[in-house]
Amino acid sequence: MIEKIEALQKEVEEFEAESPEQVEAFRIRMLSKKGLIPALFQDFKSVEPAKRKEVGMKLNRLKNLATEKVNQQKEKLEAETRGQAGEVPDLTRPADFAPNGARHPLSVVRNRINSIFEKIGFVVSEGPEIEDDWHNFSALNFPEEHPARDMQDTFFIEKNPDIALRTHTSSVQVRVMEKQKPPIRTISPGRVFRNEAISARAHCIFHQVEGLYIDEGVSFADMKQTLLYFAREMFGEKTQIRLRPSFFPFTEPSAEMDVSCNICGGPGCTICKYSGWIEVMGCGMVDPNVLDNCGIDSKKYTGFAFGMGIERIAMNIFQVKDLRMYFENDIRFLKQFESAI
């Protein structure tokens, strides 16, 4: 048996075909149902047990070798005919360029925001889009009767009112503070959800970037300077900022930050509604209650937080007046951002 296998192996190794017909004849002789190799597999049944392992291995090797040989000979002959028909690839032909995709404008803006803050030591952190009441509201000092908790604003999970789609990325602040000790410098981009009617200026799904800085001795002046740096990197070096007093449950004092209109530069236009200013984010000093809720000693540490809408900034930078365009995925719209990186 072993001699038979070895003889066939030699034959397979030496086989060189000159035509496809010869390859086919070889395949039939060796591998077809009634071929020599399947016949050896039949004989294998009568091999004495002590030799089975060795014979089995050799037989399998022979079968693989023959299969490979058939494929390799077919390929060789095909390559040769291609050559004869003058179908050698033309190496001087210009390459076909695959059409390039482009980043979505909201991703472009998000990446810019991330990298502006990364330059000054902030790290990106993310949290879940499905949140519990604690992380989205309670830990952030929202009173029990706060209207944001209302069904009209928040998408709750039907069977469990403790679970909702997060209404803001401030929930990630809580998660970070629960896990990390100060100093903390983090930004959290992400998708948020609110039960709002869809219009040119509002959508039920949109994106925010949250920022948080906690350490000993962090002051309102630190916040102002950080946000001024951000505004100038984002909207241009001549940009001015102004802070207007505001209210958020999780910051005290709270403010709303406006930037000078980067379109008209101040005198007023349709984009800034003739005020010269554009509102870009909410911010403030983290309320001591929030620090304590998250296990950070509010006597030792202070910090600031801020949150901005990516769509709003993108609308401003790209001068797109209808927010719905960002969600329709109309290729004619998206194509216009191919050069924005």
Q: Please report, as ranges, the residues that interact with ligand DAH according to CB under 6 A.
A: 168, 170, 210, 248, 251, 282-284, 305-307
Q: Which is nearer to ligand DAH, 131 or 210 (CB)?
A: 210
Q: Least Å distance between CB 234 and ligand DAH? A: 17
- Alpha-carbon distances of 164 from 145, 160, 198, 248, 318, rounded to whole Å: 16, 8, 19, 20, 32
Q: Which is nearer to ligand DAH, 12 or 279 (CB)?
A: 279
Q: Least Å distance between CB 302 and ligand DAH? A: 13
* Chain CA centroid to CA 174, Å: 23
Q: Which is nearer to ligand DAH, 59 or 307 (CB)?
A: 307
Q: Least Å distance between CB 248 and ligand DAH? A: 4
Token pair of 220 as six digits? 């309102």
Q: Name the nearest CA neighbour of 12 among 41, 29, 302.
A: 29
Q: Which is nearer to ligand DAH, 210 or 279 (CB)?
A: 210
Distance CA 257, CA 230 (A): 11
Q: Which is nearer to ligand DAH, 243 or 272 (CB)?
A: 243
Q: Where are the beta strands (DSSP E) in the chain?
A: 123-124, 130-132, 156-157, 160-165, 184-193, 205-215, 241-248, 251-260, 277-286, 302-309
Q: What is the rounded radius of gyration, in angstroms, for the C-alpha atoms of the chain?
A: 35
Q: Which is nearer to ligand DAH, 66 or 209 (CB)?
A: 209
Q: Least Å distance between CB 337 and ligand DAH? A: 25
Q: Least Å distance between CB 210 and ligand DAH? A: 5
Q: Which is nearer to ligand DAH, 105 or 284 (CB)?
A: 284
Q: Least Å distance between CB 100 and ligand DAH? A: 35
Q: State the Cα angle at 265 between 308 and 242, rounded to 5°.
A: 45
Half-sphere exposure of 67 toward its Cβ, with a 13 Å CA cutoff? 7
Distance CA 302, CA 30 (A): 82
Q: Least Å distance between CB 170 and ligand DAH? A: 4
Q: Which is nearer to ligand DAH, 12 or 307 (CB)?
A: 307
Q: Least Å distance between CB 202 and ligand DAH? A: 13
Q: Name the nearest CA neighbour of 186 among 307, 294, 288, 285.
A: 307
Distance CA 336, CA 332 (A): 7
Total residue length of the chain: 341
184-193 and 123-124 strand pairing: parallel
